[in-house]
Structure 1
């Protein structure tokens, strides 16, 4: 019986579990941590394509993974056993596969990749519609298999360039940014939207348009954007000199050139980042200079972009899988005077982690074969299937050639605290660097050993790598290891990263990645019914819902309390003033996210980066009141200290920034005073309003909304089920106008008008009467709230809180909320704190609350 048949037999015999029951079992596993249990069941427990659950405890997941790792290990000398692997995985204590590997290893019920991220692009840049559309198609094909995708736009000719088609001149970068962004929003991955990174070289003549693209309302909402900055540009900024842009960016004979004021463009980058948290910056010369894979650039390993979070710079069609080491678990006698870091155990586990990472490449290659087999059986014509076939064949080739891995760390903040080191001090930074250096050397050592046992990556060439900064640091740290590497080669072309670990740290109950703790104690609210027993209503919101406030303690702060003799239950019942006194005695005091000097944190990132051959995903969180000058200093310091990239997020920076307060043409009406939220409603409705059409599904039904817009925000809404006989509107029509008219009898109605492709005006009369009368009555109430300037987020919250005794009305109000959510500006601050890290940086991205600190998302 084949390995695959054996696995399918095991799966067929597995028991299915009820979701609620699984959460309760998982909650016991996590010692009462409801959030960790819910996230694990929702995101990581084994499921089939119909959502049926086949695991109720992380123990089952860890054994599933361990069995598969053992199966691959048996192909090679000195194999690890499933029991050995399980001991490393259990309780999320030491080694934690992230994302795709955790959900996909051993899952034969869904055909999906194990890779966390991909980069795509043509080896020879294709500045044509065919090349551009091919990237769009490949991006969607990868996202549907659960992968995050990055690609670069520097190959697209700039605005106004001549083209050999009927358009005569190029539209430039921005329309294609929107195309790729929209494609991302269309793709769902097990309930999650796709993730996309778009990058562009600062040398490209459209760089300024790229930087400004996301400032406009509703544009490029499905992508992160980062500008690739070279050293020449940074020196021009510092020296106040001109900077030369051209297209193609690498050509000796460019077709388009111009000189710009480098400092003016830099100020725009800084201002936009300060104002709206984008673009991120990628220090591209540093990335290429430090990149080991770029020693093989002419063989197809030229780095062109990064994954959506920026921690893995990649060449076209390469991919990576992630695994994190929980640093806290290597502290012996934590939070005592005798605390020490167990370097011997750490080195052994790094070696085991690298073996597992290499095994996961083999498991991914099996997944790729399964995907190719699935495609071969799809009903589409062969010429349609060939695009996807060739895509996965190229991904398979890159995985075989380079065998790239993504080994990283988490719980840096807790590790330092457990050792009595205060995060942000020079002593703590020096120790963090020593840990990362140890990890790097041992990872490279293991890769060299695997080259002897399993074979080196096929294109390894020691001569090509001579002089590479990362290789030179390994050589200096361990000359004997370097000599072994030159003699035997390496198994993996590159292997280290530090990725976001939002849900990973939630399940390991530690701080995230290299971040400090947000707060040792913070306050959360939970919604309660006033009649519930054993609750205390401490807050009633504007829509009448009751909430109970309670304190949440960081898990390892509770460990500190226990080690130091405090009664935890007694502490939990203390007033906050007394709890603050205990925090002041702990190693977390003055070492939280709000305490750390931001520039010093960037310097720490740069120092650690020296021992990471890929990159580090870090967002520098800043308070609302920081100046643009500080943002500029953060970016400049990051470049000076060797960071490969950096993103800043100023608290609340995106909320409201996209509202244009200027009076719109055609809105001939007086205006009321500006509301506290900055919105100025009209004293009466304009006779004509521009309008958006929003289409969506409610269950199996097709629904439509007409959303009247005033001052760039929803002013009124008409929505309901599409009745084609009453309102046929072509799918391509997205906008029009809503006109308030009176008929011959003096009755008021609202008409919708749009222009078709021939330029003719079409009218849908009386849209208010096309929908159910009861719907219309509720719509008038909601429109009245909108017209008086209630913030969109508050309107959505109000609608969602309505409890109506009618299934059809409840379906309708859910549709209204769904339509209006699309107008919540990216970056709008949510009312609640992040349930993962507790930080008040929960903001909307693509209509979904996402934490800017730890990456937690309510949508997946």
Structure 2
């Protein structure tokens, strides 16, 4: 692990308890994640828990309280939770035994009861209350009539289903709980007549529906029409509207979805016929939509209780040639985990926001047991994630987990009773259940099942920070991360993925290269990622939240092939994320035109620049101290140049104009207009301009800006660019250099040569360190530039490290922040 070197030794004002730091071996990120997200704190007593063991005891006691033999199950649950062998959903760790009224359920789905204005606003009211209790939500707009159909009010025709998405999004963004906004998934069936507007809603306006994920529910009929190149019928029917139909070219609509996904990772695709066919609950609680992250198809008012077996903790002889799995330990964890989650269902019944949610939970007792740390588990077994050996191993692992979970549910049903809506004949007729071993099916027929569904693969988020492992079934995302020091210096430093140090400790290989089984998400073929998901899916009765990370230069056709491959393999859904999607639909019109305008300005400025750039005509420095200083007015015509400088957040275009007295004003453009980075860049440029017009020497402005650091460093013409302000200082320095006294063509040649040339147009020889720095930072820079291009901050709001897109969610590996 990298050490922290700071200039100051003082601790931060909100110093972490030493007990927490000691448990996490001094890892400030893990300790802060525990203290700020999960440790019990009350208004009266302040922070009560300072060590995870106190949390494990609190949670184990709460869950054991619903059992007859509370002492026995306290011990079993404590074993399960200790050292994060099992990671319950965050709501459970936070809420179990907490005196506040908060739900222990992360996921809900609330349907719109009918096609009416009253029902729409009833949904908003219901969702707001759910958010206030800490739950996320899902909604499907397929029940709402399409645009242009008649309504019985002054409007005469409906504004359409899509028009209400902003209302749902705003409701979600407005209501927060424990410092977090609500989370929402809005879905639409592909057959709804408003589907084209749904698909393009975020492409047309980047600020639209910003507090929700969106997904299209695609059926097999549509996919078959895509394959055959046929038309597809959109339709909507209700008693009031009648039947509305329209036909579209299936391939054209599919291409629209894929192009949008290529550009912005949305909409996600849900293969809804696969979801319905594999759902065990269709006969008693048919699923209508999904939770915000998409791994849990749910019925209206349905909820799911989540927990994850940390499979990476069950390896004997880690990283050794004879490394093996503690199968007995995993079986015990799975079986105990099923009972634990079933007890969460019981404990949580009075803690739902609505009685309808409690009733549905009581009737179905749906749970979602999954795994986390799979990427680390494979590495500890010396198995490369993207190998046939990995596929074979995961197939065997998940088959065993499925069988243990279902067998345990029958045992609990025998001891207590089956879930109230259970029907043996109907349940055993479901395709997923039919694939179970015969002995388990016999037990289901005799004793029933305690839970309507048992298995899922959810994003683990902050839970994976606590375990220090890969999240869910994702591969290793990166081998190094940036974190901010907790000391007052607040400097960033690099830290290895914990697995790297564990490998070095276990093998004594302190400095050597890592073996090939340390493969990261960016190195894995996207089709193999889908193949891995397809391997998992037959053993998961709910769904899987997983993101296929794609390089920036991947084409639309490949993205389409990835989605179609997922459908062919029987996946229930898939999300792709292409890094640095600057060329996609999301920004193709507005952003590409912006780039063209900026480059056109550069040419025009070069053609207009007739006079040398100097500081000789600048106002006297004494003007700066004059309290009556007034910025000199702007002339109607100015001359200047535009430079393109690469930053860690994308290309920065800097136009520097001058008048007869010297440098006069600065314009700067990066990312999407009105976005986070663009707004502060414009502010800095305006202040520079104000300073120049008020007589502040250029050298003083440069001195103030140069060297300002940010999380992402880039290279431009052989120079390190530490931040956007540092890039502006660089632009001013280059403007002052003798280089700009040369001919127009020479200057154009100098700055058109691109990375790899020096400031004078000469080839730059990079040191090994520089080359390594560029390699290490390239993937992060792509992600930062992607977020900037979409008008969003690339920095974590909690710690200012870089955000990444993983498991279908924007998250931070620096502090564990997650938007899901």
- Per the normalisation by structure 1, the TM-score is 0.70
In the alignment, which residue of structure 1 is the partner of 2:78? 86
Match of 2:517 among 571, 574, 587: 587
For residues 70-219 of structure 1, the aligned pairs below 5 Å read 70-74=64-68, 80-92=72-84, 94-108=85-99, 110-122=100-112, 125-215=113-203, 216-219=205-208
**Which residue matches 2:58?**
64
Matches within 5 A, 1:268-279: 268-279=256-267
Long gaps (5+) in structure 1:
1-17, 372-391, 533-545, 572-578, 685-708, 720-775, 786-791, 800-822
Matched, 1:335 2:319: yes
Which residue is equivalent to 2:501?
A: 558
SS in 1 for 2:322: coil
Question: 1:825: how far off?
Answer: 6.1
Residue 37 of structure 2 is matched in structure 1 by 43
Instruction: Determine which of 611, 623, 626 is the counterpart of 2:539.
Output: 611
CA 1:260–1:251: 2 relative to 1, 3 Å = farther
CA distance in 1, matches of 2:692, 2:419: 62
Partners of 2:93 and 2:693 lie apart in 1 by 46
Aligned to 2:343: 359
What's 1:242 paired with? 231
Could you say which residue in structure 1 is the equivalent of 2:446? 487
The worse-fitting range, judged by mean Cα deviation, of 447-456 and 654-663 is 654-663
The answer to whether the Cα contact below 8 Å between 1:833 and 1:842 also exists between their aligned partners in 2 is no
Contact 2:236–2:245 (CA under 8 A) maintained in structure 1: yes
Determine the C-alpha separation between the residues in 2 that align with 1:783 and 1:179: 45
The SS at the match of 2:42 is coil
Q: Which has the higher contact order (CA 8 A, sep 6+)?
A: 2
| In the alignment, structure 1 residue 433 sits paired with structure 2 residue 426 | no
1:801-835 deviation line (CA, Å, top 9, x unaligned): xxxxxxxxxxxxxxxxxxxxxx9665747268998
Once residues 190 and 343 of structure 2 are traced to their aligned partners in structure 1, the CA distance between those partners, rounded to angstroms, is 39
User: SS of the counterpart of 1:648?
Assistant: strand
CA 1:97–1:260 in structure 2 vs 1: closer, same or farther (change >3 Å)? same
Question: 1:841 Cα shift?
Answer: 5.5
Indicate conservation of the 8 Å contact 1:318/1:395, yes or no.
Answer: yes
Q: What per-residue deviation string (whole Å, max 9, x for no partner) do you get for residues 298-341 of structure 1? A: xxx12111011001000000111111001012211111122111
Cα distance change on mapping 1:832 and 1:353 into 2, 3 Å? closer
Structure 1 residues 45-77: Cα deviation after superposition (integer angstroms, max 9, x where no partner): 112368932211111101111111221222xx6
- Matches of 2:257 and 2:679 in 1, distance apart? 39
Structure 2: any 5+ residue segments left out of the alignment?
1-11, 604-641, 645-649, 658-669, 681-685, 695-700, 702-709, 713-722, 726-786
For the residues of structure 2 that align with 1:629 and 1:508, how far apart are their CA atoms?
38
User: How far apart, CA to CA, are the structure 2 residues paired with 1:240 and 1:273?
Assistant: 21
In structure 2, distance between residues paired with 1:714 and 1:508: 35
- Are the aligned partners of 2:386 and 2:524 in contact in 1 as well (CA < 8 Å)? yes
Choose which of 289, 293, 316 in structure 2 pairs with 1:309: 293
SS at match of 1:73: coil
**Whole-angstrom distance in 1 between the partners of 2:484 and 2:127:** 39
Q: Is the 8 A contact 2:206 2:791 kept in 1?
A: no
Which whole-Å deviations, capped at 9, do the CAs of 1:321-375 have from their partners, x for residues lacking one? 111001012211111122111222221221111110111111101324xx6xxxx
Per the TM alignment, residue 416 of structure 1 is displaced from its structure 2 partner at its CA by: 1.2
Aligned pair count? Answer: 665
- Cα deviation per residue 1:248-285 (whole Å; 9 max; x = unaligned)? 3x999952101100000000111000011100000000
RMSD (Å), alpha carbons = 4.2
SS in 2 for 1:20: coil
SS at match of 1:80: helix
Find the aligned partners of 2:158 and 2:332 in 1 and give their Cα distance. Answer: 56
SS in structure 2 at match of 1:629: helix
The 8 Å contact of residues 119 and 305 in structure 1, kept in 2 or not, is answered as yes
Q: CA deviation at 1:20?
A: 3.4
C-alpha contact 2:796 2:812 (8 A) present in aligned 1: no
C-alpha distance in 1 between matches for 2:274 and 2:73: 41
Give the conservation status (yes or no) of the 8 Å contact 1:198–1:225: yes
> Which aligned pairs between 1:346-385 and structure 2 lie closer than 5 A?
346-368=330-352
Equivalent runs, 1:461-500 vs 2, <5 Å = 461-474=423-436, 477=437, 479-500=438-459
Q: Structure 1 144/165 Cα, relative in aligned 2: closer, same or farther at 3 Å?
A: same
Contact 2:483 2:814 survives alignment (8 Å): no
Alignment check: 8 A CA contact 1:246 1:254 kept: no
Q: Deviations over 1:466-490 (max 9, x none)?
A: 431110111xx2x122111111111
Give me the whole-angstrom Cα distance separating, in 2, the residues matched to 1:282 and 1:615: 10
Aligned to 1:26: 20
Residues 252, 496 of structure 1: CA spacing in aligned structure 2 closer, same or farther, 3 A cutoff?
Answer: farther
Q: Distance in 2 between matches of 1:411 and 1:715?
A: 34
What's the counterpart of residue 524 of structure 1?
A: 482
Q: Is the contact between residue 184 and residue 193 of structure 1 (CA under 8 Å) also seen in structure 2? A: yes
Q: Equivalents in 1 of 2:58, 2:561: separation in Å?
A: 48
Number of the residue aligned with 1:631: 559
Q: Cα–Cα, structure 1 residues 841 and 858, in superposed 2: closer, same or farther, change >3 Å?
A: closer
Aligned to 2:420: 458
With over 3 angstroms needed to count, the CA separation of the structure-2 counterparts of 1:858 and 1:100, relative to structure 1, is: closer
Verify the 8 A CA contact 1:272 1:278 in the aligned structure 2: yes
